[in-house]
Every structure is written in C-alpha cells, then in structure tokens.
Structure 1
Amino acid sequence: MGQKISPAEPEGEAGVATAEQGVVLLDGPNGVAIAMTPQAAEETGRRLVAAAQEAASQAGAEAHPS
C-alpha cells in the first residue's frame, strides 16, 4: 500500500498535427490521438509553447544552481 509510483519518463518524440475537414488532429507517440476545433488547437498551441519555455528555463536553472 505504501508503494511509491515512479513518474513516467517524458516523451521525446513530437506529435504530428494535421487539418482535415475543419478539424485539427494531433497524433502522438504510442497511439495517442486527439481531435480539436481550430480554436481549441490554437489555444493548446499557445499553452504548449508557454509551458515548453517555462520547462526549458527550469531545466537550465537546475543545471546551474546558484
């Protein structure tokens, strides 16, 4: 019961986005797939870029502790 679950390794392979019949499809590794409206895809894209920039700065800060 007190067993600790280790977090999954982050995926290093990028997903592939396509547009078909007014819907944005995002295909990721290991069969991950999602369909979004154009508006949802745009907002998801903005959020992904912001999170990626934050994660990159965190990784840089961890590599160079003050």
Structure 2
Amino acid sequence: MRVAVDDQRCRGHGVCTTLCPEVFQLNDDGYSEVQVPEVPAGLESAARQAIADCPEQAISES
C-alpha cells in the first residue's frame, strides 16, 4: 500500500501524524509528508484511518 498527501489540500491539522506517525510527519512548514515509500503491513489499518479522518481529504491511497 502506498499513500500520498496532496500538498494543495493539506492544512496541517496533524490528524494523520497523530494516528500514524510512522508514516506521516509534519514538515518544517507544518504540512504533512509521507515518510516511507510503502506503508508497512502492520500499519495499513492506521494509515487507512488517517485517510478516512483527514478533515481536508488530502490523503489518498495509491
């Protein structure tokens, strides 16, 4: 599973970094970035929850 953050939609709420910090981190500008090229199998559920809970719908699965 791969995920991507749309930097045009992200507003830096940090929901994804709270739910799945191993995959998402806020950059120096305060916006989310994906930290791994592929989500580890044990974190797929947390990553999907981050996708579902993103208030800006800025995260997609690819």
More helix by share: 1
Q: TM-score, normalising length from structure 1?
A: 0.29
Structure with more contact order per residue of length (Cα contacts < 8 Å, sep ≥ 6): 2
Q: TM-score, normalising length from structure 2?
A: 0.30
